[in-house]
């Protein structure tokens, strides 16, 4: 499954990638390793950083750490690919503020209640 998210918020920026990102069913060791990779060692920045306007593909998005980070850095589009439905739902929840062109309250209620049906 693939979801498509676009950068384009109105108002002050809120970082989607943060220490409180929803990791759902992942065990504590997995969560600890991901937080170390993203917040301490910065493993995903070694080859280059996402620039504003970049188009990014996140293959194996897990819960959206890289997806959220790319959107926070101004990527114009992010294609998040995750075969596990439960984890894909968490990507959509964690990056929800970046989904564009939807009436906020109706879209949020729909997505949070039918996440496994929503592809962007």
- C-alpha distances in Å from residue 31, one per residue of 12, 37, 55, 65: 28, 10, 26, 11
Query: CATH number of the domain at 2-117, please?
Result: 3.40.50
Q: How far apart are CA 18 and CA 113, in angstroms?
A: 23
- Return the closest-CA partner of residue 34 out of 90, 75, 89: 90
Structural contact between residues 82 and 61, judged by C-beta atoms closer than 8 angstroms: yes
Q: Chain-wide mean pLDDT for the chain? A: 77
Q: How far apart are CA 9 and CA 47, in angstroms?
A: 27
Residue numbers in the chain where pLDDT is lower than 50: 2, 7-13, 103, 116-120
| pTM for this prediction | 0.72
Residue 3 β-bridge partners:
80
Q: How far apart are CA 65 and CA 37, in angstroms?
A: 10
Strand ranges inside the chain, DSSP E: 2-6, 55-59, 77-81
Side-chain-facing half-sphere of 38: CA atoms under 13 Å: 20
């Amino acid at each position: 499954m693939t979801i498509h998210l676009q950068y384009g918020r109105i108002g002050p920026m809120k970082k989607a990638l943060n220490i409180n990102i929803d990791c759902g069913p992942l065990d504590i060791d997995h969560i600890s390793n991901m937080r170390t990779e993203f917040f301490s060692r910065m493993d995903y920045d070694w080859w280059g950083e996402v620039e504003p306007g970049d188009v990014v593909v996140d293959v194996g998005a897990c819960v959206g750490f890289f997806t959220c980070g790319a959107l926070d850095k101004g990527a114009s589009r992010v294609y998040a690919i995750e075969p596990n439905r439960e984890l894909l739902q968490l990507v959509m929840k964690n990056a929800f503020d970046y989904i564009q062109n939807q009436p906020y309250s109706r879209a949020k209620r729909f997505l949070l209640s039918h996440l496994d049906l929503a592809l962007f």
